[in-house]
Amino acid sequence: MVSRARDWLKQAVRDLEQAKDSQAAGRHEWACFAAHQGAEKAVKALHLHHGQEAWGRVVARLLLELPAAAAAPGDLIEKAKILDNFYIPARYPNSHPEGAPFEHYGPLHSEAALDYAYEILDFVRLQMA
């Protein structure tokens, strides 16, 4: 069976491009969500690269479940935990006590989300090289 790791990695890169575009347009909630998606897909690519499938949406857990040969550093796992907070609340109004999601996210959120997602992407690329 042919590995789909590169396909997942290419889509991760595209998701991060979307995150940048959303940030530039002032849609910080979407930038945060797309950054999460890019990080998630990048880590899933690394799992596939090592011959294993990964399920779920929690990037920190996906990093923790990597094989020992590709173990993620602790600070990267902590950054993934921040990204994980953007999976649902950045999209659904009932995730916050009041207000639409876009009212809860700004440039500081999207900047951090993009920084952390790109760090994860860089880690994955290094591991897959």
Q: What is the pLDDT of residue 48?
A: 97
Q: Are 80 and 37 in contact (CB under 8 A)?
A: no
CATH code of the domain occupying 5-128: 1.20.120.330
Q: What is the pLDDT of residue 2?
A: 82
**pTM, to two decimals:** 0.97
Q: Are 90 and 22 in contact (CB under 8 A)?
A: no
Sequence-separated (6 or more) residues with CB below 8 Å from residue 21: none
Q: What is the pLDDT of residue 42?
A: 98
Listed in order, strand segments (DSSP E) in the chain are none
Ranges of each domain in the chain = 5-128
In whole angstroms, what is the distance from residue 14 CA to residue 20 CA? 10
Spans of the chain, pLDDT less than 50: none
Q: What is the pLDDT of residue 1?
A: 73
* Six-digit token string for 122: 């860089």
